[in-house]
């Protein structure tokens, strides 16, 4: 499935900036897609300057692209915004007051204070306060904010289990935990479940019945080779 997303502006860099915003608000459900890579390319200085060739991806991402780590400036955008989203989802009736949270993203825990005054949100992280305004739920999963009255931020909110928010920020999927300090103390006492080692397993992409195995012991299996046939369970 191919879909085109086009932006335009008087200059190349302005058009690229428009594309960044368009990708941030481009909601795609149910299928895998490459918007995280496209969003990363939009901030690549070589691409922004127009210095590209047919080997651009090979030269810029020789090991492939597997997502990006949050920069400090991105943290300053994401953490206040997800704190407000969490509060809206868990304490809808609380329109004023101070609230303490602990936000964990990329394994980093940070205390956060949310102050609400007559519907205005102010989030303090490590002594730096950010005002979060123009909160708008454009789509069932798309939230748009303005930080400090001038920085627009878009977040796609995909799932919330009561503790952890699954979201897309700048198109990259992230899992962010937002809890109260008391909840965090309880969580700290719980053993961490180790991820299962599946490196020596071949996992089916869907539940079903194994109807045919196309390889035998000792066969060389190359990328893209047929290995087995699984009948899907409806």
Residue 150 in 3-state DSSP? coil
Q: Are 132 and 122 in contact (CB under 8 A)?
A: yes
Report residue 199's pLDDT band, with 50, 70 and 90 as the boundaries.
confident
pLDDT at 128: 93
Q: Which residues contact 165 (CB under 8 A, 6 or more apart)?
A: 82, 85, 86, 157, 159, 175, 176, 177, 178
95 vs 71 pLDDT, higher one: 71
Q: Mean pLDDT over residues 196-222, rounded?
A: 86
Report residue 67's pLDDT band, with 50, 70 and 90 as the boundaries.
confident
Residue 95 predicted with pLDDT over 80: no
Q: Mean pLDDT over residues 53-77, rounded?
A: 90
Spatial separation of the C-alpha atoms in residues 37 and 34, rounded to whole Å: 6
Question: Quick one: which of 189, 190, 176 has its CA closest to 101?
Answer: 176
224 vs 217 pLDDT, higher one: 217
222 vs 155 pLDDT, higher one: 155
Question: Which residue in this structure is represented by tokens 């085109």?
Answer: 4
DSSP category for residue 226: -
Mean pLDDT computed over every residue of the chain: 90
pLDDT at 173: 92
pLDDT at 68: 80
Question: Which residue in this structure is represented by tokens 């795609």?
Answer: 28
Report residue 15's pLDDT band, with 50, 70 and 90 as the boundaries.
very high
Gyration radius from the chain CA atoms: 22
Q: Are 9 and 20 in contact (CB under 8 A)?
A: no
What percentage of residues in the chain have a pLDDT greater than 70? 98
Lowest pLDDT segment from 112-126, 134-148, 181-195: 134-148
Spatial separation of the C-alpha atoms in residues 174 and 74, rounded to whole Å: 13
pTM summary value:
0.78
pLDDT at 234: 64
Q: Mean pLDDT over residues 101-121, rounded?
A: 93
Tokens of 194: 């180790």
- Helical residues (DSSP H) of the chain, grouped into ranges: 12-24, 35-42, 45-49, 56-60, 72-90, 181-188
């Amino acid at each position: 499935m191919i879909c085109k997303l086009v932006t335009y502006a008087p200059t190349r860099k302005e058009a690229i900036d428009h594309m960044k915003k368009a990708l941030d608000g481009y909601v795609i459900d149910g299928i895998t897609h490459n918007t995280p890579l496209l969003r990363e390319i939009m901030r690549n200085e070589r691409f922004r300057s127009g210095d590209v060739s047919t080997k651009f991806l090979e030269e810029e991402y020789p090991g492939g692209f597997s997502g990006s780590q949050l920069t400090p400036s991105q943290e300053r955008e994401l953490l206040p915004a997800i704190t407000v989203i969490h509060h809206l989802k868990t304490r809808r009736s609380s329109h004023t007051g101070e609230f303490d949270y602990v936000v964990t993203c990329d394994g980093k825990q940070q205390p956060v204070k949310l102050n609400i005054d007559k519907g205005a949100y102010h989030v303090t992280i490590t002594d730096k306060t950010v005002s979060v305004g123009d909160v708008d739920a454009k789509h069932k999963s798309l939230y748009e904010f303005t930080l400090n009255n001038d920085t627009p931020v878009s977040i796609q909110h995909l799932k919330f289990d009561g503790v952890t928010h699954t979201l897309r920020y700048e198109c990259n999927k992230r899992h962010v935990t937002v809890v109260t300090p008391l909840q965090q103390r309880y969580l700290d006492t719980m053993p961490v479940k180790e991820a299962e080692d599946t490196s020596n397993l071949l996992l089916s992409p869907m539940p079903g019945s194994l109807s045919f195995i196309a390889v035998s012991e000792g066969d060389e299996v190359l990328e893209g080779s047929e290995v087995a046939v699984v009948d899907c369970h409806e």
